[in-house]
Amino acid sequence: MIELSALRSLRAVDTHGSVVAAAASLGFTPSAVSQQVKRLERQAGVPLLERVGRGVMLTGHGRRLVADGSRLLGELESLEAELQHEAGRVAGQLRIAAFSTATRGLVAPVVRTLLDAHPDLRLTLTETEPWDTVELVATGQQEIGIVHRWGDVPLSIPEHLVATSIGHDVADVVLPAGHPLGSRERLSPLDLVDEPWVATPEGTICREWLVRMYVGTGRSPRIAHVAMEFDSHLALVGAGLGIALVPRLGRRPLTPDVVAVPAHRPVPTRDVIVVRRASMARSPAVEAVVAALRSAAVS
């Protein structure tokens, strides 16, 4: 009989490309994962991994087992969720991945309340970028993901995930106090074509949105400084080193050395979305977390 824990280990090796990375994602030692895969090979009677250089890859049998086994794991997850739904019990462990401002502005405020209301519920939090979050939930490494989607910047969500929009967030242009544009009621990209920007790194959704804002101006944003965290953006703007586009969600109170002005043409708005696997959609624990996040987003 194929062991489900060993099947999960093989799927993790397939997802991460190595035994070491799979072990890290599962919280096991590499030796434990190797032993589980070897035991699975004995149970299946066929080789499941083959060495390629210093790494490993799945054989055809291994890929077949992961594909069919993943469907089985999904069905079992769905059965477990249905049983918990019938019992009405909010319990178990859920792993939640969220982007940084959602962690500060949404997740942190509701987690303590959730844990106090449901003593048998355990939550583990991780900060990740939206594209990574979708992948983590899709591959079973996280149960709930909180992502954002700016305007028409694409965010692909696989069919086996359920996506629920829980609210909208708006970003403002933040300028140094005393900046000539700081007294405006609102600003457009045309007003800012010559300004130096503090921006997130290339490849991030926020950076893509900033670039797309300039479509139609005949210019690109002039990136002067790059920082991942919006708190760093505020500090750099406060030092007079540029301007920044900073979302309101999770934004710390502005200090006297900066001023925020609404943007328009376009208004920089992002949808805040919760994703989870369809197989867990009926889980009372998942439902409780999603409801709490929606309530926090509305308030």
Find out whether 12 and 22 touch, Cβ atoms under 8 Å: yes
Structure tokens at 65: 């087992």
Count of CB atoms situated within 10 Å of the CB of 32: 15
Q: What is the residue whose two structure tokens read 């997802």?
A: 15
Judged on CB neighbours under 10 Å (0-12, 13-18, 19+), 23 is buried
- pLDDT tens digits, residue range 83-96? 888 888 899 999 99
**51: helix, coil or strand?**
strand
Q: What are the pLDDT digits (tens) for 194-214?
A: 999 999 999 999 999 999 999
Residues in CB range of 6: below 8 A, 6 or more apart: 36, 37, 39, 40, 43
Q: Would you give per-residue pLDDT tens digits along the chain (299 residues)?
A: 677 788 888 888 888 888 888 888 788 888 888 888 888 888 888 888 888 877 788 888 988 988 888 888 888 888 888 888 888 889 999 999 999 999 999 999 999 999 999 999 999 999 999 999 999 999 888 999 999 999 888 899 999 999 999 999 999 999 999 999 999 999 999 999 999 999 999 999 999 999 999 999 999 999 999 999 999 999 999 999 999 999 999 999 999 999 999 999 999 999 999 999 999 989 999 999 999 999 998 87
Mark 169-183 as b/e (b = at least 16 C-beta within 10 Å).
bebbbbbbeebeebe
On whether the CB atoms of residues 285 and 91 are closer than 8 A, the answer is yes
How many contiguous H segments (helices) and E segments (strands) does the chain have?
A: 10, 11
**What angle, 0 to 180 degrees and rounded to 10, lies between the N-to-C axes of helices 19-26 and 4-16?**
120
Q: Which amino acid is at 221?
A: P
pTM: 0.84
Q: Which tokens in the block code for residue 117?
A: 């209301």
Domains of the chain, each with CATH number or no CATH: 4-84 (1.10.10.10), 92-299 (3.40.190.290)
